[in-house]
Structure 1
Amino acid sequence: MLLQHIATIVSAAGESGHEELAPIIAPPFVVGAVMFAVLLVMLFITLSYSNLGKRHEAVEEHADPHRQHPNKHDHGQGH
C-alpha cells in the first residue's frame, strides 16, 4: 500500500514537466574549484598553528590565591 503511494507520487512528480534549474554565478566546475581552494586555504591556516604547543616546555601553573576563581583542584597544595 505504502509502495503504491510512493510510486504514484514519484510518477506524478516525473510527469510535471521540465523544471528550470536555479541560476548559478559560474559553471559548476568553477564553483567546485573555488570551494576546494577556500577549504585548502583554511586547511593550511589550521596546520600553521600546529606548532604553537611545541614552542617551549610546559610549565606547571602556580596556585594564585588572588585569582577571582582559584583552582579548586590543587588539593590544598597551593596554600
Structure 2
Amino acid sequence: MLLQQIATFVAAAGESGHEELAPLIAPPLVIGGSMFAILLVLMFITLSYSNLGRRHEAVEEHADPHRQHTNKHDHGQAQGH
C-alpha cells in the first residue's frame, strides 16, 4: 500500500514537467570559488596556530593551597598542609 503511494507520488512528480529553478545571486562557479577561498583562508588561520604548543617548554604548575577551586590534577599536593 505504501509503496503504491510512493510510486504514484514519484510518477506525479515526473509528469509535472520542468520546474523553474530558484534564482542565484551569482553563477555557480563564482559561489563555489568564493566558498573555496573562504575555507582556504580559514585553513591558513587554523594552521597559523599549530606552533603554539611547541613554543615553550611545559612548566609544572605549583600547588596553591589558597585557591578556592584547586585543579583536580595536582594529585592531592595542595591538600593536607
Q: Deviations over 1:52-72 (max 9, x none)?
A: 010110011111122221124
Q: Could you tell me which runs of 5 or more consecutive residues in structure 1 were left unpaired when the two chains were aligned.
A: none
Q: For residue 2 of structure 1, report the CA deviation from its aligned partner.
A: 3.6
The 10-residue stretch of structure 1 (51-60 or 64-73) with the greater mean CA deviation from structure 2? 64-73
- 1:1-79 to structure 2, matched below 5 A, reads 1-78=1-78, 79=81
Alignment length, in residue pairs? Answer: 79
Distance in 2 of aligned mates of 1:58 and 1:73? 15
What is the RMSD computed on CA atoms of the aligned residues? 1.6
What is the CA-CA distance between 1:25 and the residue it aligns to? 0.7
Matched residues in 2 for 1:54 and 1:74: separation?
A: 23
Q: Distance in 2 between matches of 1:33 and 1:20?
A: 24
Q: Which amino acid aligns with 2:55?
A: R
Q: TM-score, normalised by structure 2?
A: 0.83
**Amino acid aligned to 1:38:** I
- CA drift of 1:23 comes to 0.8
Q: Which moved more, 1:68-77 or 1:43-52?
A: 68-77
Q: Gaps (5+ residues) in structure 2?
A: none
Which letter does structure 2 place at the counterpart of 1:11?
A
Q: Which moves more between the two structures, 2-11 or 28-37?
A: 2-11
- In the alignment, the residues of structure 2 paired with residue 49 and residue 20 of structure 1 have an alpha-carbon distance, to the nearest angstrom, of 46
Task: Report how far residue 14 of structure 1 moved.
Answer: 1.3
Percent of aligned pairs with the same amino acid = 82
Distance 1:3 1:22, change over 3 A: same
